[in-house]
Amino acid sequence: MSSRLVQSDVYPSGLFERPELGRERTQSWWAFYLLSRREKDFMRRLQALDIPHYAPLIPKRSRSPQGRMRSSIVPLFSGYVFAYGTEEDRYRAMTTNCVSRWLPVADGAALTADLQQIRRLIALGKPLTPESRLEPGEFVRIRKGPFAGLEGVIVKRHSQTRLVVAVRFLQQGASILFEDCDLEGLGV
């Protein structure tokens, strides 16, 4: 068996099942901006330190110069990993030699809600498009179907209608192509 820890996008696996997540007084979310291409290494180190964390990972397909299709798992938000813990956990995370800088999260409950939506979107298994610049548009909630309950902004790109689900803290998100959904405007 390999000495490497199993790579997962969330640690521990039940992190998002905690009802108090993002609302505790002794723990909070931290956004770590990492040195180039160090997300997975940082996540392994956090897991070894027993520090809860989340970094959305998505599949990416690309073609090699020889024409072969390759699949890999890449971070949805390149360079970012979210850790949840105490001030001591933040300090220990900084000692991993992976971090460029860190950002405190002022509204942990809002970040938790955004990350839960991103997790749900990834779990649907549909192709996602990273959105690094969010555009203004109508804020909606999907009422029925496999996307029911997801909230986001409707955008039109290249004659396609997409739902952008955002992590407002980063002003980034992911979008998914959809058609004929029962929507309700949220007027936010």
Instruction: Give domain limits for the chain.
Output: 1-123, 126-188
**pLDDT surpasses 60 at 104:** yes
Strand partners, 131: 173
Per-residue pLDDT of 26-55, as tens digits, reads 999 999 999 999 999 999 999 999 999 999
**98: which 2 tokens?**
């992976």
Over the range 10-41, which residues count as b (16 or more CB within 10 Å of their CB) and which as e?
Answer: bbeeebbeeeebbeeeebbbbbbebeeebbbe
Mean pLDDT, the chain, rounded, equals: 89
In the Cβ-directed half-sphere of 49, how many Cα atoms lie within 13 Å?
22
* CATH annotation of 1-123: 3.30.70
Work out the pLDDT band at 4, boundaries 50, 70, 90. very low
pLDDT for the residue numbered 163: 87
Per-residue pLDDT of 125-172, as tens digits, reads 888 888 877 666 778 888 887 888 888 988 888 888 888 999 999 999
